[in-house]
Structure 1
Amino acid sequence: MGVLQNKIDFVALVSAHMANVNGDPLNGNRPRTDYNGFGEMSDVCIKRKIRNRMQDLGHSIFVKSEDRCDDGFSSLKERAAAQMGKEKDKDIYAQKACEAWLDVRTFGQVFAFKGNNEVSLGIRGPVSIHQAVSVSPVEIQSMQITKSVNGDSSEKRSSDTMGSKHFVRFGLYIVKGSINVQLAEKTGFTEEDAQVIKECLRTLFVNDASSARPDGSMEIVKLFWFQHNCKDGQYSSATVHRSVHVALKEESILPESVDDYTIELEPLDGLVPEIMVGL
């Protein structure tokens, strides 16, 4: 497949049930909320999950989480040096980086390394993702827990350690994003790459289970994938994103599942999305 020729917008609905959607390290790792109580999931968090899915699907990525590092490099500088050598030309460096790593030609990357492979350049990627916000305010619940860990069998039993777990009782979040053709042309982002992003979004929480997000607690309810018939788009991204309407069936109730919401699509003349159920 060739370089992407048509603008793409997408909207994903994410449900969370008894899960810490995105913990805030500056607030005791409580799920992120705004001042009005609406739940939040940062774009950085979403991109991390997409990168993990890229890796699961067999694609080479540059920014790997520590627990998923599979190439023996302990830093981004080492990984870049192994791939780029002592390349100094910024245009060639950017081209090679985009060819080597899917996440670089997708999201872009800042390379700022000193030493033998000193280089400083920024690559703008075609895929942009908004911070996800819940449709309704979310209820945060906390649970006190204790941990007992004996690191050495010769020692006496260590005392229990007190702690807390925090989670969203239920929340329905909206993820919005777009793929820009002009930037895709610069990074070499292809139609095939767009299909990978679509699959990553559809399966966003596969292999993402943890004590904070047990299997089944996070789900892609629906993914709306809008592919325009031109480079600049038939409508603005804002118009496309607004065409997905999500509202409580009864404003007075506290939502407990996605069934408490109505999900409707406002027709846009000439632009019909592909609608998928997540895995």
Structure 2
Amino acid sequence: MSLEKRYDFVLFFDVKDGNPNGDPDAGNLPRIDAESGHGIVTDVCLKRKIRNYVGLVKNEQPPYEIYVKEKAILNKQHERAYIALGIDLSSDEGKRKGGDKVDIARDWMCKNFFDVRTFGAVMSTGINCGQVRGPVQLTFARSIEPVVASEHSITRMAVATEEEAKKQGGDNRTMGRKYTIPYGLYRVHGFISAPLADQTGFSEEDLNLLWDALEHMFEHDRSAARGLMSSQRLIIFEHNSKLGNRPAHELFARIEVVRASDSTAPARDFSDYKTMLDGNEIKAFKTVVPV
């Protein structure tokens, strides 16, 4: 069943003593806005966690396969579409990288892969399956307050090679570093377009699975480096039409986060904050607000 309404949403999640999204161009330091000091988590990072959760829950079976995943060879997935459509890739049509079957191949990819019909994909490399503009889009997440990255030296009581052991005289230690932030509460904005959902086949069932993923995606993404990450609040603005009734930025402005007390000490827990909608505190994880 296709979507009959537009949705905009805000997700709050936090991290304790962890690195929510390291920057490989900066030695894996937590991503931070250099001007304001606020922490940043990219949309790509969050989409990865949603994909992993859906793949785990649905056991990577159609129509919930995952297109962009670890060690995936994307052009091989494109080939699957044409094979399923009965097109011989060695034929003249196949050699033209899809010929006039691109639209059909794109529909096949949307039907079988959850992340293609959700987030969209560029599938024109190799065998051409076209491009899909996804109905679900996310912004970068930004922390409510500035965060401070801490650097920790760590020691492994082992080395990788005999040469390293000889150089250390048998001490066999490997030094390393780990970066964390003590605490950060992050806010990310999301948008769901009903007209684009019609084009990709993103359904009500997919929407409910997305809400489920946003709530539980961190539960199956644990690692020592990421500390304790948790989804804390999900506020969904439900319009009563496909095109929507109000601009998203006006809806998002109705939500604010304030300190729970007058203390000026650095926040170290979600309980240090209150999430407010139109001046009223939100205490449930998921709140649906008619627009």
- Structure 1: distance between partners of 2:251 and 2:51: 25
**Native 8 Å contact 2:138 2:190 kept in 1:** yes
Structure 2 counterpart of 1:236 = 247
Distance 1:264 1:121, change over 3 A: same
Counterpart pick for 1:262 among 274, 277, 289: 274
TM superposition shift of 1:210: 1.3
TM superposition shift of 1:4: 0.8
TM superposition shift of 1:234: 2.1
Distance 1:52 1:111, change over 3 A: same
**Native 8 Å contact 2:153 2:177 kept in 1:** yes
- Consecutive unaligned residues of structure 2, counting only runs of 5 or more, are 59-63, 84-88, 90-97
- Structure 1: distance between partners of 2:56 and 2:159: 32
Distance 1:108 1:149, change over 3 A: same
| Residues 1:169 and 2:182 are matched in the alignment | yes
Structure 1 counterpart of 2:216 = 203
Query: What amino acid does structure 1 have at the position aligned with 2:70?
Result: S
| Residues 1:132 and 2:152 are matched in the alignment | no
Structure 1 counterpart of 2:132 = 123
Give the structure-1-normalised TM-score: 0.85
- Structure 2: distance between partners of 1:130 and 1:212: 23
Structure 1 counterpart of 2:111 = 99
| Residues 1:16 and 2:29 are matched in the alignment | no
**Native 8 Å contact 2:106 2:129 kept in 1:** no
Identity of aligned residues (%): 33
- Structure 1: distance between partners of 2:236 and 2:225: 29
Give the structure-2-normalised TM-score: 0.82
Query: What amino acid does structure 1 have at the position aligned with 2:196?
Result: L
Q: Tell me the SS of whatever aligns to 1:112.
A: coil
Query: What amino acid does structure 2 have at the position aligned with 1:54?
Result: V
Matches within 5 A, 1:32-181: 32-35=31-34, 36-58=36-58, 59-66=64-71, 74-85=72-83, 86=89, 87-88=98-99, 89-114=101-126, 117=127, 119=128, 121-147=130-156, 148-150=158-160, 159-181=172-194
Tell me which structure has the larger Cα radius of gyration.
2
**Native 8 Å contact 1:126 1:179 kept in 2:** yes
Bigger share in helix: 2
Higher deviation after alignment, 14-23 or 231-240: 231-240
Counterpart pick for 1:246 among 247, 250, 257: 257
- Consecutive unaligned residues of structure 1, counting only runs of 5 or more, are 67-73, 268-272
Distance 1:166 1:176, change over 3 A: same
Query: What amino acid does structure 2 have at the position aligned with 1:82?
Result: R
Residue correspondences, number: 259
Distance 1:195 1:162, change over 3 A: same
Distance 1:120 1:187, change over 3 A: closer
Distance 1:178 1:20, change over 3 A: same
Query: Which whole-Å deviations, capped at 9, do the CAs of 1:18-47 have from their partners, x for residues lacking one?
Result: 010100001110111001110000000000
Query: Which whole-Å deviations, capped at 9, do the CAs of 1:152-175 have from their partners, x for residues lacking one?
Result: 8xx876842221000110000001
Query: Which whole-Å deviations, capped at 9, do the CAs of 1:132-162 have from their partners, x for residues lacking one?
Result: 000000121111012224468xx87684222
- Structure 1: distance between partners of 2:37 and 2:108: 44
